[in-house]
Amino acid sequence: TINITGGPTTYNVAVSGMTLGGTVIADIPASSASDAAGNGNDASTSTDNTITYVPDATPPDTTINSSPTNPTTSNNAAFTFSGTDDHTLPGALTFECQLDGGGFSPCTSPKNYTGLAVGNHTFEVQAKDGAGNVDPTPDTYSWKVSVGPTVTVVNGVCISSGTALGRLNLSLFDPEGDRITMRVISNSNSSLVPDSYIILHGTGTIRTVTIGAIPDRTGTAKITLEVTDGVHSTPFVINFKVGTTG
pLDDT in tens, 190-218: 999 999 999 999 999 999 999 999 988 89
Residue 19 has pLDDT above 70, yes or no: no
Residue among 116, 122, 123 nearest 73 (CA)? 116
- Amino acid letter at 171? S
| 111 neighbors 99 (Cβ within 8 angstroms) | no
| 118 neighbors 43 (Cβ within 8 angstroms) | no
pLDDT at 230: 87
pLDDT at 33: 76
Give the global pTM.
Answer: 0.61
> Strands, DSSP E only, in 54-149?
61-66, 77-84, 94-99, 105-107, 111-113, 119-128, 139-145
Could you give the count of Cα atoms lying within 13 Å of 44 in the half-sphere of its Cβ? 13
Q: State pLDDT tens for residues 36-79.
A: 788 887 787 766 667 766 778 999 999 999 999 998 989 999 99
Residue among 129, 141, 121 nearest 58 (CA)? 129
Q: How confident is the model at residue 14 (pLDDT cuts 50, 70, 90)?
A: confident
pLDDT at 47: 63
